[in-house]
Amino acid sequence: MSDHHMRSQVVENQHYDEALSLESSSEGAGYGGGDTGNVGAGYEREEGHGATGIVTGSVLGPHMGGRTEGGAGGALGMTRGLAGTAGNLDEAASGAHRVDGPAKYDASQYDDLQVSAEIRDLFGYIERYMPTSFDIETSLKPFIPEYIPSIGDIDGFLKVPRPDGKDDGLALAVVDEPCTKQSDPTVLTLQLRANSRKSNLTPMAVKAVDPVAEPKAIASWIENISEMHSRKPLPSVSYSRPMPDIEALMQEWPVEFEEALSKAGALPTAELDVDLATYARIVCAILDIPVHDSVVESLHVLFTLYREAKSHQGVNAFD
């Protein structure tokens, strides 16, 4: 049986005695942190232990020592002591006296037993064996601290000012950190290229996005790109043959035509029994759009007209 007797490693105990004298320092109520409790303030190094003592309060201002005294915390009625019921070492100490174990076997208890000499002789064997008292090892399960979250560094005002010397309010009015809504560099670059009057733009690299890993990146890309396109000027088309001005085409039809149209009931619909190209030609003819070699250019005029008319209508409707 292994017998780790730590007592052989007892170190002198004066520091601990000091601790007992501090017993009354645990007054105060309301330990804020429950069983969390990685605490870190005003920590003093053991004298002569470290090179850079942390106890320089006297230098940089009064050292506050414990947290239960003074400072804003005290003013707010907060102390860092443990809750009264649990925290008082005095109280606990009273209950920690070593108790005598339960009664051991005591042969004299059986002295009055009425037995034969033969049996009495046998009883003598009970005390003949001296049971061994084993020391059981005491291994410590070190208390593993809670994981420690990070709140980052405090601002030491080590920063580059604005080149124009204007006040940026950083670290004073607002914490010096970028806003969470940062522009997408690729989208912004595309936008800048679109607006640039320079023609010697070098081709740009577009970043790749993993749609599985970054679904949010994809959504935001689509949003950004469509917004960018919405700001672009219209592409202009140059027609191979002259086309009438959209404004001219927008003019109202002659009254006779309007009347004929209302008599006919409606414009010919796509149900007309002709092929698509013929139907396109018919529609263009009605709207005074010439069709030259290709119907495509005429259709472009048609759709441009449609859009203008629609927005015009919208204005009318709104008014």
| Count of residues interacting with other proteins (CB under 8 A) | 170
Does 104 interact with other proteins (rule: CB under 8 A)? yes
CB of 287 to other proteins, least distance (A): 19
Cβ proximity to other proteins: between 39 and 267 the closer is: 39
CB of 299 to other proteins, least distance (A): 17
Q: Which two tokens stand for residue 24?
A: 């009354």
Does 294 interact with other proteins (rule: CB under 8 A)? no
206-225 residues near other proteins, rule: CB under 8 A: 214, 216-217, 220
Single residue of 48, 62, 203, 242 touching other proteins by CB under 8 A: 62
Locate all alpha helices (DSSP H) within the chain, ordered by sequence. 14-21, 57-60, 71-75, 84-87, 89-94, 117-123, 185-195, 215-231, 246-249, 255-264, 276-286, 295-318
Place of tokens 């560094």: 153
Q: Is 132 exposed, middle or buried (0-12, 13-18, 19+ CB in 10 A)?
A: exposed
11-50 residues near other proteins, rule: CB under 8 A: 11, 13, 15-16, 18-19, 22, 25-26, 28, 31-46, 49-50
DSSP state of 232: S
130-149 residues near other proteins, rule: CB under 8 A: 131-134, 136-149
- Which of the ranges 156-164, 244-252, 270-278, 281-289 carries the binding residues for other proteins, by CB under 8 A? 156-164
Single residue of 29, 201, 222, 260 touching other proteins by CB under 8 A: 201
Return all residues near 52 (Cβ < 8 A) that are at least 6 apart: none
Cβ proximity to other proteins: between 220 and 282 the closer is: 220
Does 242 interact with other proteins (rule: CB under 8 A)? no
Q: Which two tokens stand for residue 112?
A: 């009055």
Single residue of 211, 222, 227, 294 touching other proteins by CB under 8 A: 227
Contact string (CB under 8 A) for other proteins, positions 72-91, x = contact: xx--x-x-xxxx-xxxxx--
CA distance 75 to 319: 65
- Of 74, 62, 92, 65, nearest to 28 by C-alpha is 74
Q: Where are the beta strands (DSSP E) in 93-242?
A: none
Cβ proximity to other proteins: between 61 and 242 the closer is: 61
3-state secondary structure of 170: strand
